[in-house]
Amino acid sequence: MKQNRWILLALVAVLMSSCYSHRVIGYLQEPTEKNKLPQYDSVGYEPYRIHVNDEIIYRLITLDESIFNTISAGSGSGSQNVNAYRVHADGTVDIPFLKPISLVGLTEREAQETLQAAFREIIPDASVKLALYNKYFSVIGDAKSGRYFIYKERMNIFQALAMTGDVQNSGDRRHIRIIRPRDGGEEPEVLEFDLRTNSIIDSKYYYIYPNDVIYVARTSSSFYKVPSYVGFLGMITSSVALLTSVLNYVVTIERDVQANTQSK
């Protein structure tokens, strides 16, 4: 019986170590000497600036219907089909009826003001509404992979991952990576960070920008983990039941052997 007790205690200890704890998957944890979470500096939000190969869409507003109809017919901006205009390698965009306009490096607001000023050279009362067309980020790895629309300014990493249904428990929250393109033919920037620390808020890892790729790796120990305490209790119940059956079987065999030996 004493031996059986130790076996049961060892089994419970092994199963307890196979559960996902708050320290492993919890968000916004306070960095301490015990959990060794990193402390990131707060840098604030920087608005996105237009890159080469980005695409813009715009809407022209004017009281002059004849000019509006002429430009809309040439650009397609008055139809239901959206015409997107790509930023070329030299940083310019070709807009119908206008000279090439340089937009690379500008924020959406700055690009809107630049395009509006160009239109006002030929249409005095022109007003322009401009937006980035390729306002998407992508997710790969141990989350719901796919491409997702950035529906608001200053979207953060938690809002982005919430659109995927959150990182799976087997995902490595200690080493989340964001692959971020850069202009000028440079290699993409790779940002690696620990998603669990509360100091991620307002850090350089916090905000998501167009064309970002979020990569969530799988932890090497995930094979031995159970997804929830329901699964954990199920494992304990089934394991204890199996162990009890085996021990009862062994005890029964020992009794039969002893009985046969005594009868002889």
- In this predicted model, what pLDDT tens digit does every residue of 119-165 receive, in sequence order? 999 999 999 999 999 999 999 999 999 999 999 999 999 999 999 99
User: Topology of 55-132 in CATH?
Assistant: wza like fold (3.30.1950)
* pLDDT tens per residue across span 73-132: 655 444 445 789 999 999 999 999 999 999 999 999 999 999 999 999 999 999 999 999
Question: CA–CA separation, 171 vs 135, rounded Å?
Answer: 26
Q: Which of 20-29, 165-174, 235-244, 253-262 has the lowest mean pLDDT?
A: 235-244
* pLDDT tens per residue across span 16-28: 445 667 788 899 9
- Is the pTM value of this prediction over 0.85? no
The token pair at 160 is: 């982005």
By DSSP bridging, strand 213-216 and strand 136-141 are parallel
The token pair at 203 is: 């850090």
pLDDT of residue 179 exceeding 70: yes
Alpha-carbon distances of 96 from 117, 118, 198, rounded to whole Å: 15, 11, 48
Query: Which bin fits 210, alpha (ψ -120 to 50), beta or left (φ > 0)?
Result: beta
* CATH code reported for the domain at 22-47+135-223: 3.10.560.10
Tokens 């009794």 belong to residue: 255
Tokens 């980005």 belong to residue: 54
Question: What backbone torsions phi and psi does residue 176 show, to the nearest 5 degrees?
Answer: -70, 140
Question: CA–CA separation, 90 vs 92, rounded Å?
Answer: 6
Q: Radius of gyration (Cα) for the chain, nearest Å?
A: 31
Question: CA–CA separation, 112 vs 93, rounded Å?
Answer: 12
pLDDT score for 92: 97
Domain boundaries of the chain, sorted by first residue? 2-17+226-263, 22-47+135-223, 55-132
